[in-house]
Amino acid sequence: MDLCRHIKARPPVRSDMIAAVNMIVLVVAFFFAVSLSVFAVPLNVRLPKAVTSDMVNAMSVTIVVTSENILYLDDKVTTLQELRDFLGRPGNKSRSLLIKADRRASVGRVVDIWDLGRNLGIEQISIAADQEE
């Protein structure tokens, strides 16, 4: 019996082509993942209007409170405990604290941040507002 006659030869698999396609897919996936983490989403906070306002020191720590009462520190979502840890560091106690709260944010949340700053010894705490026309 001649078994070799019935077996068809398959073309050889080009491993260099498979490797190149895999590398291209990995590079595209890497750039996609990096681009999602690099671009920060701007926070849409509608500040309340005020008749009087003063300029705030550039060295102040800025806390943003959204209308859903989510806290942001340096454009990153944070909790009250993480905020307490950050503000409790020795270098941050001498800085002022600026609270940018959306006009629909809970007053209780703003008071929690205010009390936290006072309990940690921060002397100057301000609330951001837009100048009323």
- Give tens-digit pLDDT for 78-117: 999 999 999 888 877 677 888 988 888 888 999 999 999 8
User: What digits encode the pLDDT tens for the residues 29-42?
Assistant: 887 777 665 555 55
| φ, ψ of residue 101 in degrees (nearest 5) | -110, 135
Structure tokens at 36: 């999602």
The rounded distance, in Å, linking the Cα atoms of 19 and 15 is 6
**Confidence (pTM):** 0.58
Go through the domains of the chain in sequence order and give each one's CATH number: 49-131 (3.30.420.270)
The rounded distance, in Å, linking the Cα atoms of 31 and 2 is 55
Is the model more confident about 94 or about 131? Answer: 94
Instruction: Give the β-pairing of 97-101 and 61-65.
Output: parallel
- The radius of gyration of the chain from alpha carbons, rounded to an integer in Å, stands at 28
Report yes or no: 61 and 95 within 8 Å, Cβ to Cβ: yes
Q: Which amino acid is at 93?
A: K
Mean per-residue pLDDT over the chain, rounded: 77
